[in-house]
Amino acid sequence: GAVVSQHPSRVICKSGTSVKIECRSLDFQATTMFWYRQFPKQSLMLMATSNEGSKATYEQGVEKDKFLINHASLTLSTLTVTSAHPEDSSFYICSAPPSGKETQYFGPGTRLLVL
Amino acid sequence: AQSVAQPEDQVNVAEGNPLTVKCTYSVSGNPYLFWYVQYPNRGLQFLLKYITGDNLVKGSYGFEAEFNKSQTSFHLKKPSALVSDSALYFCAVRDTGANNLFFGTGTRLTVIP
């Protein structure tokens, strides 16, 4: 099956710093990737849709200047949490459907802890 | 608007017994329906999907789900539960013409040895 990787798997940072999370599709191309946030014991909430070669589409309530998304190629999307604060601590998960396919494949997630 | 309901936060079942995890949905068009499983501190693993065709869909690890249009349901089932099936299960829906998935709140399945 299709494989999606995320890096890093876990990051601890100080408040005010920026953190970059990478999402890669390893064996397929994806013109679209999705970024989700998951709080403990809760469901996944879609943050934004990353589009290769164009601007990301953000869900209502998600600050685009806070969560910068860059879809640099057909296999890589990055999420940068700028000026991170403790309330940004969460589990961030990306997903990607192979181009033209319905099924989304998910990365293993990145756990962010902001001190 | 699309929505997904998983009415049970927790399902407990004895090993070897059949299991059912419930899901109902609401979409404006024709639904694309998915089940994913999540193990602790991990991303989601795809189990199965319904796009079109047969209402009974078979997926990974012996799981299956039945699409019921009149009841707008897509319950996940397995004839004989394993302890290793214990995990968090998410139902998700995508409306035709939409790009993203909308997830239910998840159901934690515990299989008791």
Backbone φ and ψ of B28, nearest 5°: -90, -25
Residues A7-32: tens digit of each pLDDT: 999 999 999 999 999 999 999 999 99
User: Quick check: A101 pLDDT over 90?
Assistant: no
Residues B39-78: tens digit of each pLDDT: 887 788 999 999 988 999 999 899 999 999 999 999 999 9
pLDDT at res. A19: 97
pLDDT at res. B40: 80
**Are residues B32 and A102, on separate chains, in Cβ contact within 8 Å?**
yes
CA A60 to the chain's CA centroid:
16
Q: Which of B32, B42, B103 lies closest to A43 in CB terms?
A: B103
pLDDT at res. B62: 95
Query: Residues in chain A whose beta carbon is closer than 8 A to a beta carbon of chain B?
Result: 1, 4, 6, 32, 34, 42-44, 46, 49, 91, 93, 95, 102-109, 111
| C-alpha dist (Å) from residue A14 to A10, A63, A79, A84, A110 | 14, 20, 18, 8, 16
pLDDT at res. B96: 76
**Are residues A34 and B101, on separate chains, in Cβ contact within 8 Å?**
yes
Residue B66's contacts (CB-CB under 8 Å, 6 or more residues apart) are B55, B56, B57, B73, B74, B75, B77
pLDDT at res. B63: 97
Residues A104-114: tens digit of each pLDDT: 899 999 999 99
